[in-house]
Amino acid sequence: MTELDCTSIDTALPSVAGLMRMSTMTLAQKLLSYSPREYEDDCNSSDSDSLDVLWWRIFRCLQKPVPESIMWFHATRVRPGTSFADGIRPLNERLGDLEEIVKQCAKDLGLNIGGHAPDEYWTHSGGIQFSLKTSDRMHWGPYAFLMREVILPGTSDVHDYLSAPEIVEDIARRDYGPSWQKVLDRFRSMTVPCIVHFRDWKRRDDAAAFALRYCHKRIHERDNDAILHTCYDAAGVPVSPSAIVRVEYL
């Protein structure tokens, strides 16, 4: 089975090499010999997409292999002992439980819903974000990243899902206004960060190219950029428990 696994550079490099039927060492040497400055210059002088520029320079072709399966990484915070026996559920199925957790956090702090939330927090802060995400299936996920590394704090500019899910922040802002940060701190004390590794077999024609870009970045010890925020979107359908390979608690 040809699987793309970007848990780290140590898995991504042999994954891409395997897809292209070459040795990991050969691919590493090709990437190392192509400097970031050369890559930038080539991109600036080409009308092609930056991923295509890199792929052509390394493999001298534009045809990209499609992995049979891909490992994805879902970041969140959960109560200690959560097993994901029901898989990863979309937002609409998790919303009630998350609101109860936030309510319990506020109760522990002696806060009452509404009493600490000025009207603007309903209309301009957490309230509008909550409404947007809960009213439209396109925001329900579950979501995951192709590169595990971009999830980790300080490695990219994506939202820190290991600190708190966006919807939890929205609920806290909506219901507890200026005290939302205290509620969020309490939420963090009751939960643990984790990354759920799961396998998916849906066809992704672009995955190998993103993985190669990641390998090039890491081999040259460069920071990750926005183009590596490649996501999986289940579009409101749960991720089956049978697809889960590992639950990594941090």
Average pLDDT of span 147-165 = 86
Residue 55 has pLDDT above 60, yes or no: yes
Q: Is 155 helix (H, G, I), strand (E, B) or coil?
A: coil
Q: How confident is residue 146, by pLDDT bands cut at 50, 70 and 90?
A: very high
Q: What is the pLDDT of residue 159?
A: 84
Residue 177 has pLDDT above 70, yes or no: yes
Q: Is 152 helix (H, G, I), strand (E, B) or coil?
A: coil
Candidate from 201-205, 212-216, 229-233 with smallest mean pLDDT: 229-233
In 3D, which of 177, 61, 160 has the Cα closest to residue 122?
177
**Using an 8 Å Cβ cutoff, are 168 and 161 in contact?**
no
Question: Is the model more confident about 12 or about 112?
Answer: 12
User: What's the CA angle centered on 166, arms 165 and 167, to 5 degrees?
Assistant: 90
Q: How confident is residue 9, by pLDDT bands cut at 50, 70 and 90?
A: very high
Q: How confident is residue 119, by pLDDT bands cut at 50, 70 and 90?
A: low
Residue 174 has pLDDT above 90, yes or no: no
136: its two tokens: 């439209």
Percentage of the chain beyond pLDDT 90 is 74
Question: Is the model more confident about 118 or about 73?
Answer: 73
Q: What are 219-247's pLDDT values in tens digits?
A: 999 987 777 788 999 999 999 999 999 99
Q: What is the pLDDT of residue 114?
A: 62
Question: Is the model more confident about 71 or about 177?
Answer: 71
- The DSSP annotation for 196-246 comes to EEEEE-S--TTHHHHHHHHHHHHHTTPPP-GGG--EEE-TTPPBPGGGEEE
Average pLDDT of span 164-171 = 91
Q: Compute CA 43 distance to the chain's CA centroid, rounded to the nearest angstrom.
A: 26
